[in-house]
Amino acid sequence: MDRHPPPHSRRFSLYQPPSYFSLSLLSIFIFSCFLSTSDAAFDVTPISFDEGYRPLFGDGNVVRSPAGDGVRILLDRFTGSGFISSDMYQHGFFSAKIKLPSDYTAGVVVAFYTSNGDVFEKTHDELDIEFLGNIRGKPWRFQTNVYGNGSTSRGREERYTLWFDPTKEYHRYSILWTANKIIFYVDEVPIREIVKSEAMGGDFPSKPMSLYATIWDASDWATSGGRYKVNYKYAPFVAEFKDLVLEGCMAVPIRQLPASGCHAKDAQLEARDFATITSSQRRAMRRFRERYMYYSYCYDTLRYPVPPPECMIIPSEKARFKDTGRLKFGGSHKRRSRRRERIPAASVSDNQASM
């Protein structure tokens, strides 16, 4: 089986949010209505799969759409799969409309992320959006993370639930990375912003990165801290991607410097609609974080007695969290450290395969 060298990160068994049925339907309805009026869709130009990407591993499980404008990646009992951008980028806007696997998907991770771990193994940069599998009736959970210059011992996880079912239709997920800031988006809603500061130093990603999308078996940690494993009775698990967007400056990583013309590209990137958070988007971001964020490293004072320098501590937000960074209602105090394994092991145990 093709393998991709895994970067590293820390994984935690965090508070598990309540079921969809226990969430306030009125709250979800009001929030959805608010988001629908926040801002129009981004002005982006999608490209075909072959224009900007190539299979990464599990080639037989990377299936292009008939028109070439989309792709499906599959996990079965033999292998996961993934694709990678054909070029590396020094800053950019990386985006796709994604529909997640349906039915029972515990232990199945779908990741949409940028990284340069293949080139800078000990000093890699990375920006993650990871969907953490699901059990029927539960809200989908996902996390974002940031690494700079190999700062894997200083993970910057935040975890959230979605206010919609991501298996029913496509939703756009995006990562903006500029010289000064990082913004994660769900549709046109900014859910997290990191503004570069001098105190962050090399922890702010600075080297050229590729875009990756993968699906793989993370039974040991992804869903309820590894309590629920992948059940291959429901395989293949399929994640669908379309309206793929790559905007940025192509770069040569060996130089560790922007290619000629990147200053102009950076200026163009900063001028785009997705590079500025409007007042309505900022209100939507605040509401999202108030209602759907259930872990933040910024409020995990056991892990970081002094919050990392990019953390903007909001008193009303902080009041909702324990010193473990988890919400004050429910949850476990256990946490586990795991090495990131984006690509599953070459074989599946008999016990796991029969689950």
Positions annotated as catalytic residues are 126, 130
The answer to whether residues 78 and 343 touch, using CB atoms and an 8 Å cutoff, is no
Quickly tell me which residue has 């192509």 as its tokens.
250
Q: Look at residues 243, 214, 213, 249 and name the one whose alpha carbon lies nearest to residue 47.
A: 243
Residue 258 gets which letter from DSSP? P
Please state, in angstroms and rounded to a whole number, the distance separating the CA atoms of residues 155 and 153: 6
By residue count, the chain amounts to 355
Amino acid (1-letter code) at residue 93: F
Q: How far apart are CA 236 and CA 20, in angstroms?
A: 25
Q: Helix H segments across the chain?
A: 25-36, 49-52, 262-270, 279-292, 315-318, 350-353
Site of tokens 């060996």: 254
Half-sphere CA count of 75, side-chain side, radius 13 A: 34
Cα–Cα nearest to 113, from 90, 98, 95: 95
For residue 237, give the amino acid letter: F
Cα→Cα distances 254→108, 115, 116, 120, Å: 34, 15, 11, 9
